[in-house]
Copies of this chain bind each other. A is one copy, B any other.
């Protein structure tokens, strides 16, 4: 007989009765607050079209590199999971078979956040009553499939049911934001906004940089023959993004090194880029310069700047060549902030118009560099534990390492950062539970008192995201 899938009401809370009782109360006060999602990767087209999700594998497995990288690590070929290839290699098209593999290996996720999110998704979003295993996989597939065909499981209906106050997408500088335009034109009330992420036109080492520049020129109706024109095009796009509701930009970089170049040098490097002759050193210098320049733009237009540094992208060349980028082969590297951000923070870190949200894949920097920086520079806020660190332990470590020196009010609230839309409520629920539990531990140890904790859990669950990203509370 299949084991029941039951989510305990007290899940993720400390087993100590004192802590658990306090955590339960703190969590209860925020569990129904609207979800604010200031950074993520959900496809806005979902809400523009509002079509039914095709099937469970397409919804849950195929787009989620958290899931298929773990399966791959245990020897399951990505082809057998239906992950689309870019080199024409055929992949499994029977989505029931894909789901079956997933069910048979679901035990691999025990103790991982993916396991926790999926349990929430299956139980609460889809009403599944049994644990996913090889044995139950077929019936669960059928159960979810039936629901996906009902109106209540269309994207917009889920958006409402999930109580999402704001959902931010991530969009290239050259994006036309057609899906966002369509959402607006549709008259639907859902608050879905873009975020300006110009990596593809900033990183000279990007294989498509020249094509991206061409596309940027086209959408901005600019002839990008010079660095000056390039800057103008970027500024034009930021204005456009703002007009479409954007409140932030985002920058994925190898290192957060910042250094402004002399005008002549930057033009020379830019011209080498246009000719396809930029060196790796050019790319590094140009990115360091552009972080300065993008910060300058943020000071002027008020868009909140986010930096996500330290990922060695597409580490596994064979996977990259067959499946493309973002297929689970990105690996963190040690990241330095104190020296790298020195120039940027000196130029803009004291400016009340500037807001910088820093993320990291290197937890050793939490207490060593990030909390000290955020506990000093007024422009700085620390983003939620990112990607490889969004586990129960990772979120706990973040608070334990950051709070002592930066407090909670120099942190940016939670960002779910998901591509997998149905996991949004699971991720926020987990974060709220972990933060409630963290604060409950502090109350039980008499570090803070209950009234402090009640303020703090609201800040962590809602207010800090609103304030950091300069949203209004009605959003």
Nearest-CB residue, chain B, relative to A439: B111
User: Which residues of chain B are near A69, meaning CB under 8 Å?
Assistant: 375-376
CB-contact partner of A372 in B13, B331, B394, under 8 A: B331
User: Is residue A217 contacting chain B, with contact meaning CB distance below 8 A?
Assistant: no
CB-contact partner of A388 in B329, B334, B350, B371, under 8 A: B371
> Is the beta-carbon distance between B318 and A350 smaller than 8 angstroms?
yes
* Residue interface mask A218-249, B partner, CB < 8 A = 1: 00000000000000000000000000000000
Task: Known contacts A332-B368, A338-B332, A375-B73; decide if A444 and B111 are in contact (CB<8 Å).
Answer: no
Residues of chain A from 311 to 339 with CB closer than 8 A to chain B in the complex:
312, 315-319, 328-334, 336, 338-339
In the complex, A349→B69 CA distance in Å?
14
In the complex, A461→B445 CA distance in Å?
21
Residues of chain A from 388 to 442 with CB closer than 8 A to chain B in the complex:
388-389, 391-394, 400-401, 403-410, 441-442
Name the segment of A55-63, A102-110, A186-194 touching the other chain: A102-110
User: Is residue A113 contacting chain B, with contact meaning CB distance below 8 A?
Assistant: yes
User: Is residue A34 contacting chain B, with contact meaning CB distance below 8 A?
Assistant: no
User: Which residues of chain B are near A342, meaning CB under 8 Å?
Assistant: 312, 315
Residues of chain A from 1 to 34 with CB closer than 8 A to chain B in the complex:
3, 7-8, 10-16, 18-19
In the complex, A389→B401 CA distance in Å?
9
> Is the beta-carbon distance between B408 and A111 smaller than 8 angstroms?
yes
User: Is residue A446 contacting chain B, with contact meaning CB distance below 8 A?
Assistant: yes
> Is the beta-carbon distance between A394 and B388 smaller than 8 angstroms?
no
User: Which residues of chain B are near A346, meaning CB under 8 Å?
Assistant: 315-318
> Is the beta-carbon distance between B333 and A369 smaller than 8 angstroms?
yes
* Residue interface mask A457-471, B partner, CB < 8 A = 1: 000000000000000
> Is the beta-carbon distance between B110 and A408 smaller than 8 angstroms?
yes
User: Is residue A43 contacting chain B, with contact meaning CB distance below 8 A?
Assistant: no
User: Is residue A199 contacting chain B, with contact meaning CB distance below 8 A?
Assistant: no
* Residue interface mask A93-136, B partner, CB < 8 A = 1: 00000000000000111111101100000000000000100000
User: Is residue A378 contacting chain B, with contact meaning CB distance below 8 A?
Assistant: yes
Shortest distance in angstroms between A250's beta carbon and chain B's nearest beta carbon? 21
User: Is residue A377 contacting chain B, with contact meaning CB distance below 8 A?
Assistant: yes
Count, chain A residues at interface, CB 8 A: 94
User: Which residues of chain B are near A3, meaning CB under 8 Å?
Assistant: 449, 451
Nearest-CB residue, chain B, relative to A12: B445
Task: Known contacts A19-B15, A111-B442, A452-B107; decide if A447 and B392 are in contact (CB<8 Å).
Answer: yes
Shortest distance in angstroms between A97's beta carbon and chain B's nearest beta carbon? 20
User: Is residue A267 contacting chain B, with contact meaning CB distance below 8 A?
Assistant: no
User: Which residues of chain B are near A357, meaning CB under 8 Å?
Assistant: none
Nearest-CB residue, chain B, relative to A452: B110
Shortest distance in angstroms between A255's beta carbon and chain B's nearest beta carbon? 12
Nearest-CB residue, chain B, relative to A113: B404
Name the segment of A80-88, A158-166, A277-285, A358-366 touching the other chain: A358-366
User: Which residues of chain B are near A112, meaning CB under 8 Å?
Assistant: 403-405, 407
CB-contact partner of A338 in B331, B336, B392, B406, under 8 A: B331
What are 13 A-B residue pairs whose CB atoms fall within 8 Å in the complex? A3-B451, A69-B375, A70-B375, A75-B352, A110-B456, A111-B407, A112-B403, A112-B405, A116-B447, A315-B338, A333-B338, A389-B404, A393-B401
Given contacts A13-B445, A110-B407, 16 further A-B contacts (CB under 8 A): A3-B451, A74-B378, A74-B410, A107-B409, A108-B407, A110-B408, A111-B403, A111-B408, A116-B447, A312-B342, A316-B345, A318-B350, A329-B376, A331-B369, A331-B376, A333-B369
